[in-house]
Structure 1
Amino acid sequence: MPRPRLSTLAAACATAFAASLIGPATGAQAATADHYSGTLSDGATWIADKPARWNGSLLLFSHGFGPTTAADAPSPAARQTLLDAGYALVGSSYDPNGSMWALDSAERDQFATLTAFRRQVGRPTRIISVGQSMGGLVNARIARDGAGRVDGALGMCGLVAGGVDLDNYQLDAEYTLATFFDPADTGGLVNLNSQADAGALADRLTNAVEAAQQTPAGRARIALAAAYLNLTDWAPGRQPPARDDFAGQEEQQYAWLAQGLLGFIVPARWSVEQSAGGNTSWNKGVDYAGLLRKSSHAKQVEALYRHAGVDLRTDLNQLTHGADTVADPAAVTHLKQTSTAGQGLTVPLLDIHTTADQLVPVEQESAFAQRVREAGDSALLRQAYVARQSHCNFTTAEVVAGLHAVEHRLDTGHWDNSATAAELQHSADELGLDGAGFTDYRPHRLSGIR
């Protein structure tokens, strides 16, 4: 079966899977809306939709990684439901002349879009920032910097740990795969020449993984790489494996890799390097045994190595001693400046995340929460989880329920129970839309933080 390429998976990253769950309202059920558009000073475009019966609230939507095309809602179904409820929607493309990793311009363009909306459409009584995937990182930065410009924020499947951590844990996984299955590529994992070269590298790594899956030793080493990648062990169309079903866990992690995951994340690295002006990740000095001990998949890896009769300590020592990738300091500094969040919050933020997200691991929420806590702003942050596989795989009901929780916080000055799994589920069920799967959950810590 052919593997999805970058364009396919980028679209999935930028558009929630909820779009296919229910269609937009039609006929008498659909609210009429006026559509607006414009161009910002850097060439970014923006679009907006205002329903005839506007409730005064404006949702500023930040889209995910992919083509720099303006979007103002996470899915067609969510768009129509929100318009029917009286919300106005707005969002920008980000700078179309830059990288698809558009953090250089995204926050600036989103604030400029608000200014354009006020001038051309009207003045809202309340503004709530909404973002998903890479746009969830943009959204978290807006929640940090947006006092006086936005009132609250709702993040979905957000890449909230930031670009530096993302590139580092992905490097750990790619380095592990190359070391054991594709040694010729161990020196070419960073400083990628082009998206095409990155796609070819992803193909070689994926082919190597497919061959390795045929042996117990190969499966153990795939599990090791998956641990460093923070890769979920619950694949689409499957039931979650039992806690002690280590072989089943690896088989489902392999399913993600075989279905094209590397074909997304490796070319995406090229876009990040393009934006930052150089390599932004490093592993020189990393202790790969210590890294594994911090992973929630450590017991799985140890069990599979024992079953395969392979010495785990030898493999970990090989990884540690061979790790010699160094980053471009200027590129790292640039990425930290443009592509990090969690240093503080100035408005209330609710993040929702699926528990089995293959592209933006749910563990990113743990790293983000720790940084917000260290900044002293935990009272402004709430995080909620949906028991489901795949990136940004939310129903429209879950999106609207999350929005209502943020509105409760803004109306009352308190979260109360509005962002608990039970209350979010109740809120979603009352909408009578497409169901919800909120669950009590606490993510493990994120592997790969330097």
Structure 2
Amino acid sequence: MTGILAAALIVTGAPAIGADDVRVHTGAIDGARYRVEVPSNWNGKLLLYNHGIYPPGYVPEEIELANRAEAKPVLLGEGYALAASLYSKPNGFSAREAVRDQTALLSWFDRNVGRPEQVLTWGASGGGLNAVLLSERLPHRIDGALAMCGPVAGGSALFGQALDLGFTVRTLLAPELEVVRIADPGANLAKAHQVIAKALESPDGRARLALANAFADVPGWSTAHHPRSTDVAEQIRQQTKFVQAVYDQLAWGAHRTDLEAQAGGNPTGNTGVDYRGLLARSSERGLVRQAYRDAGLDLGADLARLAAAPRVEADKAAERWLGRVGTPAGRGRQPVVTLHPIGDGVAPEHERTYGDRVDPGRLRQLFVNRGGHCQHTAAEELTALSVLRDRVETGRWPSTSPERLNAEANRSGPEFRFLYDWLHGEPGTAAPAFRRYHPDPLPRVV
């Protein structure tokens, strides 16, 4: 029986596992809280989950062991042990702490539960990047990685995208905004939100927001339960809603200042960047050109303003630090599976840029036809996990045709296809939506 089919049967028919059948371990290692759950029927395998970039001040009540809560009893019922560290630095960009603290938790598990015969690591959003980094740092302990909706091209690329976006907004809309070495991130962020809200009110402002968003490859689609709109203004509103919810802290707020404090300086710059060339390589260039035509604006003139604007120079030592701790090199022997919505604001182009570094024989990249950040269902995530498990356990990749994957995910009940569109506040049930997709590389990789 293939892993994909086994996962489908588990989703639809696995016996429920009661709380009395699971041992829960909690504690802290060097300031990093952890949670481990081991079922009584432990199969000797461990799933090590990596959480994403939590916003300032947020910590979950219970440490997450899976991206979708519905997946947790399925995996425990199959016999997997589940573990995760909250990291000693749970908020902001924490790639360094994630690798260190997850490594320590794995050692704790060896001593207190038993050395697993198989370790798979997985994560969503920034946790997807952390899963890939962890697999590269621990090639003899991690057997495979599933990176879901992650900026897997690396932290340098992610914060470079945010810098390009913020720099464009500053140059074309609000010269008083700070994009590096921000003195008061709270006030700067509030000002950025005011500028964006005002820009959305006019065709000129929307066109310039579309240009800024395009440099970060933010798609004009962020709704999970609706197809991409054909209306230009609506596409820009959806782009910008994502930026205000996710990229704002990276471009103008606390995540930027926190990163610079970690790196000991500014790790990303735009010296020598040709923004005309970046636009030509952006997946959203068509939306930008249409928005400028609708507004009657001269796109060439705005690109000339960007070309003439003073550049932001990176601090070389900080730049090297971020490249070292936060950028996957593509090394390793373990199989890697990635999963990404094609309308994710953390651009699926990250997958192409990462994929160009990796031996294609150990990589499978899966996409779902949906908008929104990390908007895949538990059924789709379990199906992706089973693809990885099949490769680890048999040494061969199963079929990853969309038809096959959708058929297997569709065996799940409606509770595993529930999807809450957190950005737009809309719950619903989503049919499996795996599809073929071949993203371009990111416009630039820092």
TM-score band, normalised by the shorter chain? 0.7 to 0.9
Q: Whole-Å Cα distance in 2 between the matches of residues 428 and 138 of structure 1?
A: 26
Letter in 1 for 2:71: A
Other structure's SS at 2:99 match? helix
For 2:28, the aligned partner's letter is: T
Q: Which amino acid aligns with 2:43?
A: N
* Count of residues in correspondence between the two structures: 411
Query: Does the 8 Å CA contact 2:349/2:441 hold for their aligned counterparts?
Result: yes
Counterpart CA distance in 2 for 1:84 and 1:338 is 36
In structure 1, the residue matched to 2:420 is none
Matched, 1:423 2:393: no
- Name the structure 1 match of 2:4: none
Query: Secondary structure of 1:29's partner?
Result: coil
1: distance between equivalents of 2:249 and 2:88?
25
Check if 1:413 corresponds to 2:395.
Answer: yes
- For 1:397 and 1:99, locate their aligned partners in 2 and report how far apart those are by CA, in whole Å: 28
Which residue does 1:285 correspond to in 2? 272
Q: Which amino acid aligns with 2:182?
A: L
| Residue 316 (str. 1) matches residue 303 (str. 2) | yes
**Following the alignment from structure 1 to structure 2, what is the Cα–Cα distance between the partners of residues 113 and 166?**
27
In the alignment, what sits opposite 2:429? none
The answer to whether the 8 A contact 2:159-2:250 is kept is: no
Alignment check: 8 A CA contact 1:48 1:88 kept: yes
Is the 8 Å Cα contact of residues 147 and 346 (structure 1) preserved in structure 2? yes
Match of 2:76 among 76, 80, 83: 83
**Equivalent residue number for residue 191 of structure 1:** 181
On the 8 A contact 1:345/1:380 being kept in 2, the answer is: no
Question: 3-state DSSP class of the match of 1:235?
Answer: coil
- How far 1:116 sits from its partner (Å)? 0.7
Distance 1:334 1:258, change over 3 A: closer
1:292-335 deviation line (CA, Å, top 9, x unaligned): 11112212212222232221111101101104110111111111
Match of 2:38 in 1: 50
- In structure 1, the partner of 2:189 is 202
Structure 1 position 411, deviation (Å): 2.2
Partner SS for 2:201: coil
Equivalences for 1:151-190 in 2 at 5 Å? 151-185=143-177, 188-190=178-180
Superposed CA deviations along residues 365-391 of structure 1, whole A, max 9, x for unmatched, are 11111122xxxx111011101222222
Letter in structure 2 aligned against 1:65: I
CA, structure 1 residues 134+85, in 2 after alignment: closer, same or farther (shift >3 Å)? same
Structure 2 counterparts to residues 291-306 of structure 1, below 5 A: 291-306=278-293
TM-score (norm 1): 0.85
User: How many Å apart are 1:170 and its aligned residue?
Assistant: 0.9
Contact 2:39–2:81 under 8 Å retained in 1 = yes
Q: Secondary structure at the match of 2:357?
A: helix
Q: Are the counterparts in 2 of residues 160 and 342 from structure 1 also a CA contact under 8 Å?
A: no
Q: CA deviation at 1:90?
A: 1.0
Contact kept? 2:267, 2:319, Cα under 8 Å: yes
Is 1:60–1:129's contact at 8 Å kept on the other side of the alignment? yes
Structure-2-length-normalised TM-score? 0.86
Give 1:268's aligned amino acid.
H
Cα distance in structure 1, aligned partners of 2:228 and 2:50 = 34
Q: Deviation per CA, 1:154-178: give whole Å up to 9, x if none.
A: 1111121111111111111111111
Measure how far apart 1:258 and its partner are: 5.6
In structure 2, relative to structure 1, the CA distance for the partners of 1:139 and 1:220 (3 Å cut) is same
Residue in structure 1 matching 2:238, options 237, 241, 252? 252
- In the alignment, which residue of structure 1 is the partner of 2:325? 338
1:63 aligns with 2:51: yes
Q: Which residue of 2 aligns with 1:7?
A: none
**Residue 349, structure 1, aligned to residue 300, structure 2:** no
Give, in whole Å, the separation in 1 of the partners of 2:337 and 2:347: 17
CA deviation after TM superposition for structure 1 residue 94, in Å: 1.8
Contact 1:405 1:424 in 2 (8 A): no
Matches of 1:379 and 1:226, distance apart in 2 = 33
Contact 1:156–1:352 (8 Å) recurs in 2: yes
What's the secondary structure of 2:410's corresponding residue?
Answer: helix
Q: Is contact 1:157–1:353 with CA below 8 Å preserved after alignment? A: yes
1: CA distance between counterparts of 2:33 and 2:237?
Answer: 43
Equivalent in the alignment of 2:6: none
Matched, 1:147 2:139: yes
Name the structure 1 match of 2:22: 33
Q: Following superposition of structure 1 onto structure 2, how do residues 331-410 of structure 1 map, counting pairs within 5 Å?
A: 331-358=318-345, 360-372=346-358, 377-410=359-392
Q: CA deviation at 1:75?
A: 3.4
Deviations 1:35-88 (A, max 9, x none): 113432x32232210111112211011111125775432233222221122111
* Percent identity between the two aligned chains: 35
Q: Tell me how far apart the structure 1 counterparts of residues 202 and 411 of structure 2 sit (CA, whole Å).
A: 50
Q: CA deviation at 1:221?
A: 0.9
Q: Residues of 1 paired with 2:391 and 2:246: CA distance?
A: 40
**Separation of aligned partners in 2, 1:82 and 1:238:** 27
| Contact map agreement 2:68 2:377 (CA 8 A) in 1 | no
Question: Which secondary structure does the structure 2 equivalent of 1:48 belong to?
Answer: strand
Aligned equivalents of 1:420, 1:126: Cα separation in 2: 26
Where structure 1 has 5 or more consecutive residues not aligned to the other structure, the ranges are 1-23
Hey, what's the Cα distance between the residues in 2 that align with 1:285 and 1:388?
35
Aligned residues of 2:125 and 2:148 also touching (Cα < 8 A): yes
- Residues 337 and 384, structure 2, Cα contact 8 Å, conserved in 1: yes
